[in-house]
């Protein structure tokens, strides 16, 4: 099985902020896989489903669990760590999705492991899990025109910028699907790049 975690903050106030791209991507994934967030478990909204796809050995079925922690970003580990234990998920079969202030807008960065990079959600998970050895997907939100990271990541996305992020979310959804079916290396090889024109991604 694959446990896909999207990080964000709960409530309408934060719904269309850059810090909630993890939630937005999981909503997209739920639509693709024909499931919904009707479950509640360990302070998270849960959507469960099954992905079927062909392989050299015939058709394969994999269970997927999509999770949106409702703890607020800096306490994400309080939800994610119990979920990992509950589903008995091996660390290489989880994927944590978050925004990244240090990547240009439009950039996707899959990694098999790594530091928090200053992201409070990842930091919480790493601290409570006791390891940083789990796959993650960072979605670039840029920071060129802003000095204060907290104000920027919690600012609402304009309609114009939402069009850009919608394009990136579509590509990220493709990458997550590849991770589910083929693993982190395949996702890294095909989706670790910027998906917007240079003049837009630099904003």
Which tens digit of pLDDT belongs to each residue from 72-88? 999 999 999 999 999 99
pLDDT for 94 beyond 90: yes
Q: State percent of the chain over pLDDT 90.
A: 81
CA distances from 57 to 6, 63, 76, 180 (A): 31, 18, 38, 17
Q: What is the C-alpha to C-alpha distance for residues 191 and 193, in angstroms, rounded to an integer?
A: 6
Among residues 6, 17, 18, 19, which one is catalytic?
19
Q: State percent of the chain over pLDDT 70.
A: 95
Tell me what pLDDT residue 16 has. 93
Lowest mean pLDDT among 54-58, 72-76, 97-101, 190-194: 54-58
Bin 183: left if φ > 0, else alpha if -120 < ψ < 50, else beta: left
Catalytic residue check, 19 = yes
Q: What residues contact residue 61 under an 8 Å CB cut-off, 6+ apart?
A: 50, 51, 52
Tell me what pLDDT residue 140 has. 95
pLDDT for 148 beyond 80: no
**What are the phi and psi torsion angles at 32 (to 5°)?**
-65, -40
Q: What is the C-alpha to C-alpha distance for residues 90 and 82, in angstroms, rounded to an integer?
A: 13
User: 158-180: per-residue pLDDT in tens?
Assistant: 998 899 899 999 999 999 999 99
Q: How many CB atoms lie within 10 A of CB 50?
A: 12
Tell me what pLDDT residue 203 has. 46
Distance of alpha carbon 68 from the chain centroid: 9
pLDDT for 2 beyond 50: yes
User: 31-64: per-residue pLDDT in tens?
Assistant: 999 999 999 999 999 999 999 999 888 999 999 9
Tell me what pLDDT residue 145 has. 65
Is pTM beyond 0.85 here? Answer: yes
pLDDT for 202 beyond 50: no
Nearest to 155 by CA among 166, 163, 146: 146
Tell me what pLDDT residue 160 has. 87
Q: Across the chain, what does the average pLDDT equal?
A: 93
């Amino acid at each position: 099985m694959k446990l896909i975690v999207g990080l964000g903050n709960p409530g309408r106030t934060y719904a269309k902020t850059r810090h909630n791209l993890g939630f937005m991507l999981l909503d997209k994934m739920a639509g693709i896989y024909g499931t919904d967030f009707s479950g509640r478990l360990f302070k998270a909204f849960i959507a469960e489903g099954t992905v079927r796809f062909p392989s050299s050995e015939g058709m394969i079925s994999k269970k997927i669990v999509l999770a949106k922690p409702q703890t607020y970003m800096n306490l994400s580990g309080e939800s994610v760590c119990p979920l990992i234990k509950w589903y008995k998920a091996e660390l290489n079969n989880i994927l944590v999705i978050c925004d990244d202030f240090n990547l240009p807008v439009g950039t996707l960065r899959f990694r098999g492991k790594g530091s928090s990079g200053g992201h409070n959600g990842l930091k919480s998970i790493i601290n409570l899990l006791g390891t940083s050895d789990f796959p993650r997907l960072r979605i670039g939100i840029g920071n060129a025109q802003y000095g204060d990271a907290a104000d920027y990541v919690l600012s609402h996305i304009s309609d114009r910028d939402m069009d850009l992020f919608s394009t990136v979310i579509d590509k990220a959804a493709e990458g997550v699907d590849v991770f589910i079916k083929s693993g982190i290396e395949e996702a890294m090889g095909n989706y670790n790049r910027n998906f917007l024109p240079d003049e837009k991604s630099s904003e």
